[in-house]
Amino acid sequence: MVNPRKKTKFKVLGARSKRVRKRWKKPRGIHSKLRRHEKSKGSRPSPSYGAPKALRYLHPSGFKEVLVSNLKDLEKIDPKTEAARISHKVGKKKRVQLVKRAEEKKIKVLNP
């Protein structure tokens, strides 16, 4: 079985040359082999490459991310299934308080 978290790299048809960036761009040419789905010309993004519904929106650690900006937000988190990500707007003093409280409640902090 293929790892469901592993992502396929989709490239522009001419991405082997240095001049073309290695990113996805939809093929639009009328003679394009990739647009016509010819077998050896690479794969195109489609819904079939999506992750299973159970794994969607999860952090690689397996927890669901919850954005936290104060102690009240931290109290609502379920430590078994959710992990806290402290907002970038939070200052150093409050961040220390949040991390300390999270340790007490055994909540995983993704960016301490």
Give domain limits for the chain: 8-50, 52-112
What pLDDT band is residue 76 in, cutting at 50, 70 and 90? Answer: very high
Q: Is the pTM of this model over 0.75?
A: no
Measured distance CA(41)–CA(60) in Å, rounded: 31
Higher pLDDT, 97 or 18: 97
- pLDDT at position 4: 58
Reduced to 3 states (helix: H, G, I; strand: E, B; else coil), residue 33 is coil
CB neighbour burial string for 79-106, b if at least 16 within 10 angstroms, e if fewer: eeebbbebeeeeeeeebeebbebbeeee
Average pLDDT over residues 88-96: 96
Averaged confidence pLDDT in the chain: 89
What pLDDT band is residue 1 in, cutting at 50, 70 and 90? Answer: very low
Task: Spell out the residues 6+ positions from residue 2 whose beta carbon is closer than 8 angstroms to its own.
Answer: none
- pLDDT at position 52: 85
| pLDDT above 90: residue 48 | no
| CB-facing half-sphere around the CA of 96: CA atoms within 13 A | 2
* Highest mean pLDDT (candidates 8-12, 43-47, 69-73): 69-73
